[in-house]
Structure 1
Amino acid sequence: MTLGDIIDAAAANPTRLRVCSPDDSPDLSDRFGSRNVVVEHTTLPGADEGFVVVRRDGEFVGSVPVRAFDTLVHPPAGVPGSRDGEADEQFRALLGLLDDTVFTSLERDRMLATSREIEDRAWRLGHGRLYAGFQSLPVMHAEADVYRRLATKPDLRVEVFATPNGDPPAVEGATVRVADDPEIADTWFVVYDADTRRDSCALLAVERDPGSYRGFWTYDPERVDEIVLALRGAVERAEQ
């Protein structure tokens, strides 16, 4: 199974959102750009604030205030270990509810914020394996300081990937892999394979147009295992 196959498999299970709010609630459909999300609306006359109920495979997943979805438009930023506050908590809760939801149009700022959330978990727990694919070496250079910091955790193994189009940066304590493979060139991924499997998580997306991605994030340890296996396969092909 390739990295693209894993995205297609996740897309087979749509997420259903029911927005319960006043009539003037924003249309969340515009915020997803995803055929994998079904958005429905229930009017609550006189309500001060609405909420969103999330279901997948007919099962209740959870609910959050409508305002939490503002973090998808303006996600929190900050390097691992530096983030704090209500916006972070809302964003973290939203990522959990939208686990395994495939988005057909993920913008770079949302991708970066989700990457930072995964990196932050790896930093806080300080164990396991963290894999990150930057597509190109210039992007790897831009992110090198973040991964140098993560690599200072003695029980966290860090591997970073990019395709060959220059000289890779030195990232002390990390393994730098330069692989001439289309999957590495087209894919943005941050994968945290934790020693405690329930803490594993990943972001996986394929660039469809410049700066626009199709992909998802997941907290399912089995799906994280699938991503790691596919990634190893891509590296092995590139090294043959």
Structure 2
Amino acid sequence: MGIAAFIDAVEDQQKTVTVLNRESVDPLYRMLEGMFDDDSVTVTESQDPDAPGDVVLLRDEQTGSLAISQLGEISETLLLVNSDLYVTGTVPLAEVETPEVVAHLSDVTFTVADKQKFLLIHISRHIESLALETDDGVLHSSFQRLSRIHDERGTLRAYETLANSGVGVHVYGVDDWEPPGFADRLSVHAGDTPELRDSWFVVHDGGGDERRMAALVAEEIGPNEYRGYWTFEPGLVKEILAYLESTY
């Protein structure tokens, strides 16, 4: 079973995103619809005279669980920014904040490209930040090409910070880089297999705490187009970790 098989095997959770008492302009709402444009995620709006405005509710139709965020949080974190925010290191890893609604869109398979790819970039940083905050355990990260670590200033800073923490960091990808000065504090898994060329994953083992386990797994299915999901389900994270540890 490879990374692609983990993506194929996930059973999507049906989720509904509802904007309650929308006060924001139409383009912002359409951006929200476009960000979560997926068969498993329905975006709607509703009115409730007893509730505040621009509240975003996420409901898992299987479990009935509910997550709540302000639309402004989602806008400032995802809708009105681009990947340069993290590529340039404008947001330090320790300061990454993820709206509850976005984090709880776990266990849904997304196909993203261009602007939408920022959703997966943000979740990658969320998991890296979680590992840094835990300051323990092991983080596995695939870059497709190892040169991406130093090509992007924000990524270089993030992984230097992680390498200097209590987290054991494993990096994966095609060996096309000039290793940075902190490479001796990384466990490097270099190769040129189709899986390493196409896979994007960030997996943290929780440092012994199942509540802090997390994984994003995705594969490139076209030029700059990815299919994948993220999960905080310990059983699934353990299966992904077991695969990585036995294969690499």
User: TM-score when scaled to structure 2?
Assistant: 0.78
Q: What is the 5 A alignment of 1:8-157?
A: 8-22=8-22, 26-27=29-30, 28-44=32-48, 49-56=53-60, 57-70=62-75, 71-73=77-79, 74=81, 77=86, 78-81=91-94, 83=95, 88=97, 91-105=98-112, 107-142=116-151, 143-153=155-165, 155-157=166-168
Distance 1:234 1:140 in 2: 22
Which of 172, 181, 197 lines up with 2:184 in the alignment?
172
SS of 1:59's partner is coil
SS of 2:142's partner is strand
Check the 8 A contact 2:2/2:243 in 1, yes or no.
yes
Check the 8 A contact 2:36/2:43 in 1, yes or no.
no
Which of 175, 181, 198 lines up with 1:186 in the alignment?
198
- What letter is aligned with 1:215? G
Distance 1:200 1:62 in 2: 19
Distance 1:109 1:55 in 2: 22
- Unaligned 5+ runs, structure 1: 236-240
Query: 2:2 — aligned with what?
Result: 2
Which digits, 9 at most, give the CA deviation of each residue in 1:9-35, with x for residues without a partner? 335322222332248661432222322
Check the 8 A contact 2:124/2:202 in 1, yes or no.
yes
Distance 2:4 2:42 in 1: 22
Which digits, 9 at most, give the CA deviation of each residue in 1:130-168, with x for residues without a partner? 010000132133344532331222x4211000024x355
Distance 2:226 2:53 in 1: 32
For residue 191 of structure 1, report the CA deviation from its aligned partner: 0.9
Alpha-carbon distance change, 102 to 210 in structure 1, aligned in 2, over 3 angstroms: same
- Does structure 1 residue 219 correspond to structure 2 residue 232? yes
For residue 104 of structure 1, report the CA deviation from its aligned partner: 1.5
For residue 67 of structure 1, report the CA deviation from its aligned partner: 2.6
Check the 8 A contact 1:162/1:178 in 2, yes or no.
yes
Query: 1:238 — aligned with what?
Result: none
For residue 110 of structure 1, report the CA deviation from its aligned partner: 3.1
Higher strand share goes to which structure?
1
Check the 8 A contact 1:161/1:177 in 2, yes or no.
yes
Check the 8 A contact 1:132/1:189 in 2, yes or no.
yes
Distance 1:231 1:45 in 2: 51
Aligned pairs, number: 227
SS of 1:172's partner is helix
Check the 8 A contact 2:19/2:56 in 1, yes or no.
yes
Alpha-carbon distance change, 223 to 149 in structure 1, aligned in 2, over 3 angstroms: same
Larger deviation: 21-30 or 218-227? 21-30
Query: 2:221 — aligned with what?
Result: 208
SS of 2:158's partner is helix
For residue 179 of structure 1, report the CA deviation from its aligned partner: 2.5
